[in-house]
Chain A
Amino acid sequence: MPAMIKVHALQKHFVMHNQGGIRLPVFSDVDFEVEAKEALILHGESGVGKTSLLRILYGNYKPSGGKILVMHNDRYIDLATTTPRTILAVRRKTIRYVSQFLRVIPRVTTLDIVKDPLLARGVDDATATHKAKDLLFRLNLAERLWNLAPATFSGGEQQRVNIARCFVDPAPIFLLDEPTASLDAKNRDVVVDLISEAREAGAAIIGIFHDEDVRDRVATRRLDLTQFKKAA
């Protein structure tokens, strides 16, 4: 299996210019690869840099050094050095990311939010609507909520909208930041199934899961970030 993502000598620190130029190290010398059909679970105490690492892999944080090679259109692209335009193309086609919180335009309905990634890639409205409804149904999100904006939803409902938006358009790489944190057992199972199906279909998964049971069911491999924290 080819590696879908290869991380080499990755390091990250923040410099706070307005707080005396203080330098906050996150990690350094991070090295790993993830192949298709693998699920790598990031490990380590809170503050060790798990979320920062996922954000870097999504192009949301800029690495301070190192390489992030992502298999995109059958070739590797280094996210650390490529253009914003290429990162956007990689996000449209190759990488899906579930953040801890849903961030959307106010007043946009749940159905429109979930359809959006498909429409953004030029898929016709009927197909997008069909796929979005299927997934919302599978995630047990009550149909009466589909035409409402999620601002007033519970944490678990919002999280399911976020997950639906990510899985409505499967991609070769999934980055998952605690996607099951506020879900009940039934919906946790649905999400575990979605992840497993994507993985078996050939996706590479990198995720953070605090729930030990979910972790055991999803993981094929674990990576403890503590070692890299010490190096930083």
Chain B
Amino acid sequence: MNAIEDLYIEDLHARDDSAPILTASDVTRLYGERVGCREVNFSLWPGEVLGIVGESGSGKSTLLRCLAGQDRPTSGVITLNFDGAPLNLFDIPEPRRRQLMRTKWGIVHQNPRDGLRMDVSAGGNIGERLMDRGDRHYGKIRTAALDWLSRVEIETNRVDDYPRHFSGGMQQRLQLARVLVPEPKLVFMDEPTGGLDVSVQARLLDLLRVLVRDLGIAAIIVTHDLAVARLLTDRLMVMKDGMVVEHGLTDQVLDDPHHAYTQLLTSAVLAA
């Protein structure tokens, strides 16, 4: 019998020494008197999936918009680190931030119509992102588009069809392909399975999980669905009234919640 050491396969995904890809320090967004989110602190490492849960109005979408560079926080700092050179997200010029948004990170919207160009073919929706990155070779772009369609389980003969002729689930998968084709290091998702039928949700969940794992992407997923959070995320932040009330390992937060609000949230769910 082998010694137990021989039974190990070296952990290729061990990333113990790496620096966080994103750090939020005291991020606060106020809308006049009203609190969007307040004093949010956390770090996200490469390959990690963080969930943010809470009811509507808890500030989770506001926080996501700040983290993704779409909404400037009232105070606090968001630091991104893609290649060993940390940068302060709201300290860089707008054009540079926009360029980074198209190449280094991606945003998956709840409504695929917000993330897709509905008057551009499926292949065009994917290819456009490669052209943003500087790719010019038509054949290569076309090949990449076909490859990504099959990765998100869309028949490749739909490449020239418009997304408006796709079902909701297909549109969402196309959006995923459009976001992932430039190989971002970081992806933000706002209720990615929100508007979908339960059966379509399951397929998308598995697809998301596999893509995130295989590409080593770090992701932040906002959802109000605790089952989605359990299946997709490593760590979980629970928000209420703009504040993070509990933060930890996803299964620990869901199975042994400590804050009164988290206990209420987890006990209110029908077991499935």
Q: Is B45 close to A, CB under 8 A?
A: yes
- Establish whether residues A201 and B4, one from each chain, have CB atoms under 8 Å apart when the complex forms: yes
- Establish whether residues B3 and A201, one from each chain, have CB atoms under 8 Å apart when the complex forms: yes
Assuming the contacts A105-B209, A119-B213, A202-B4, asked whether A84 and B249 have C-beta atoms less than 8 A apart, the reply is yes
Which of B1, B203, B205 is close to A201, meaning CB atoms less than 8 Å apart?
B1
Which of B45, B230, B251 is close to A85, meaning CB atoms less than 8 Å apart?
B45
- Establish whether residues B3 and A60, one from each chain, have CB atoms under 8 Å apart when the complex forms: no
Bound complex: CA of A18 vs CA of B264, how far in Å? 7
> Which B residues between 1 and 58 are near A, CB-CB below 8 angstroms?
1-5, 7-9, 11-14, 16, 45, 48
| B interface residues, tally (CB under 8 Å) | 39
Contact with A along B231-260 (1 / 0, CB 8 A): 100110000000000001101100110111
> Which A residues between 1 and 35 are near B, CB-CB below 8 angstroms?
14-18
Number of residue pairs across A and B with beta carbons under 8 Å?
92
Bound complex: CA of A170 vs CA of B6, how far in Å? 10
Stretch at the interface among A120-128, A154-162, A176-184: A120-128
Bound complex: CA of A169 vs CA of B12, how far in Å? 14
Bound complex: CA of A49 vs CA of B214, how far in Å? 38
- Establish whether residues A105 and B231, one from each chain, have CB atoms under 8 Å apart when the complex forms: yes
> Which A residues between 80 and 129 are near B, CB-CB below 8 angstroms?
84-85, 87-89, 92-93, 103, 105-108, 118-123
> Which B residues between 208 and 228 are near A, CB-CB below 8 angstroms?
209, 213-214
Bound complex: CA of A60 vs CA of B255, how far in Å? 7
Residues of A within 8 A of B249 (CB): 59-60, 84, 87-88
- Establish whether residues B3 and A61, one from each chain, have CB atoms under 8 Å apart when the complex forms: no
Bound complex: CA of A83 vs CA of B8, how far in Å? 23
Q: Is B267 close to A, CB under 8 A?
A: yes
Bound complex: CA of A97 vs CA of B137, how far in Å? 49
- Establish whether residues B1 and A17, one from each chain, have CB atoms under 8 Å apart when the complex forms: no
Bound complex: CA of A130 vs CA of B8, how far in Å? 16
Q: Is A62 close to B, CB under 8 A?
A: yes
- Establish whether residues B252 and A60, one from each chain, have CB atoms under 8 Å apart when the complex forms: yes
- Establish whether residues A120 and B1, one from each chain, have CB atoms under 8 Å apart when the complex forms: no
Residues of B within 8 A of A89 (CB): 11, 14, 16
- Establish whether residues B12 and A17, one from each chain, have CB atoms under 8 Å apart when the complex forms: no
Q: Is B202 close to A, CB under 8 A?
A: yes
Interface centre among B203, B249, B267 (most CB of A within 10 A): B249
Q: Which 10 A-B residue pairs are closest in the complex by CB-CB distance? A: A122-B12, A202-B4, A17-B260, A106-B202, A84-B249, A61-B256, A170-B7, A107-B202, A122-B13, A201-B4
> Knowing that A36-B4, A106-B202 are A-B contacts, what are 9 other residue pairs whose CB atoms are under 8 Å apart, sorted by A's residue number?
A17-B260, A59-B252, A60-B249, A60-B255, A62-B258, A84-B235, A121-B12, A200-B1, A203-B4
A interface residues, Cβ below 8 angstroms from B: 14-18, 36, 55, 59-62, 84-85, 87-89, 92-93, 103, 105-108, 118-123, 169-172, 197, 200-203
Q: List 29 A-B contacts (CB under 8 A).
A: A17-B259, A17-B263, A18-B263, A59-B252, A60-B252, A60-B255, A61-B256, A84-B234, A84-B235, A84-B249, A84-B252, A85-B235, A88-B234, A89-B11, A105-B206, A105-B231, A107-B202, A108-B206, A118-B9, A119-B214, A121-B11, A121-B12, A121-B13, A122-B11, A123-B9, A170-B7, A171-B8, A197-B1, A201-B3
